Structure 1
Amino acid sequence: MSDGVIIVGAGHAAGQAVASLRSEGYEGPITVIGDEPYVPYQRPPLSKKFLAGEIDIDRVYFKPPDFYDKSQAEMLLGRKVVEVERPKKLVHLDDGSTRGYDKLILATGSRVRELNIPGFDLDGVFYLRTIEDVEAIQGKFNEGGKMVVVGGGYIGLEVAAVAAQRGIDVTVLEMAPRVLARVVDPILSKFYTKAHREAGVKIETGVTVSGFEGSDGKIERIDCGDGKTFDADFAIVGVGIIPNVELADEAGLKVENGIVVDELCRTEDPDIYAIGDCTNHPNPILG
């Protein structure tokens, strides 16, 4: 019997892989292994309508949960692959078990970039990447108070907008001279700054966060390199993501700011593919 396809990771890319394999006529076994307890879901709504409480979790899922049963895809959720043994075409799981594969798809995604500064582990310092993160932040919204957002990118501004709608006192701190500096031109930065300020969000640019301060293990303020301080009952950090490449790297696959793949998502191993945020794709313009 064929070992079939194993997909490591259970995010949006994994859900699409299952759908595409079946729609293109693949009839063999499919196993999805993910460390979160949820079927694949979309992350973009997390910082918008889901955070605002305007949609429930069913609207966040990539496909309805029963899609995977109907697609005859085995879902191993809350489990983690800790090693890929390429010579034997095996994956090792965190419970000590192994699974064989004919083809392996790495859809390991990315994780938040954490600030390694004093006070980073204080209660009240949050990141937003998962459903659990959103639920924790919503709990703080219900308490009210002052929120500081570190990072003026898309995530930071989206969270700030939702919080302002909830009546939270919001300040955004951005290191660059303007918000969204890495992704839009100055005209659009000015537009988003104006829109957020009109909604009640305070925006400070050109400031570097140097540490979180607090007492009894809870955040109380944020310190900046120029001596400024900002009171905070809680803080959201949104300073980028890091591709999860460790599994591929330890397996000896080529990694350069992502798992290196060709235009068909193939790695240098003919039996291993990689998709989604964890990859580094060829670009016809940038190379």
Structure 2
Amino acid sequence: MVDLSSHLFLLSLSLHCCFIACLAANTKNITTDQSALLAFKSLITSDPYDVLANNWSTSSSVCNWVGVTCDERHGRVHSLILRNMRLRGTVSPNLGNLSFLVILDLKNNSFGGQLPTELCRLRRLKILHISYNEFEGGIPAALGDLSQLEYLYLGVNNFSGFISQSIGNLHQLKELEIGQNKMSGPIPQTILNMSSLEHINLAVNYFSGEIPSLNNMTSLRVVDFAFNNLNGRLPNDFFNQLPQLRNFSLNNNQFEGSIPQSIGNCTSLIYLDLSSNFLIGMLCFLSGHIYLK
């Protein structure tokens, strides 16, 4: 018969082994994040302020590196914010290994090349901000897998090609910015699935065809489709269910027909620009800024 001391010894041994295993697992995770960031650093070809060169070193904890914030609960990299640092290079696919990343912000640098598809493995990501860079090629269709994404800023780059229908899978998305790129093709009908969307900017591209009805997107506040090749007619009920709409821009396209009188339902509207189209009609309301020429 095993005595009490034996039981206590076995329990203590089990707990000790568990602690060692958990510690090893956590160390491995930190090592994974460190390796991913060092791979990212290795592809930086210009760092004029020496931000990464002087700070991102294995002699200090990853969580103390400039631009890096760790989650206290998991001890993993939570955010990577390196905006306005004049960094130049390409983005390493290894960033896709930062599995606890919630914020990736590289705004206003000179990153180029294609956006790695591996970033679409970051299933906890809520903010992806890479505007004002030099990215090119297509926007990965797999971005639609980032189901937690709330803010997607891709504007002022050199992206080209179509927007994939998979973008409609981003049901939590609040703001979508793809303005000032080289995108073409139709605006996907699946944007109607993005019921949380408040702000959409696709201006200054080469989008063509008709625009989807926005009737069910009741959270929309800002819509900017200006300077594209969009055409067709706006249905009479186009503005029926846009109670939050404040800014609406369709200028410099090829729309024709009558201006829908349902725009009178948009009682929050303060900016409207329908200029440089082939629209006709009269507006008998509104007190904000209106451009119809």
Bin of the TM-score, shorter chain as denominator length: under 0.3
Higher relative contact order (CA 8 A, sep 6+): 1
TM superposition score normalised by structure 2: 0.25
TM normalised by structure 1 equals 0.25
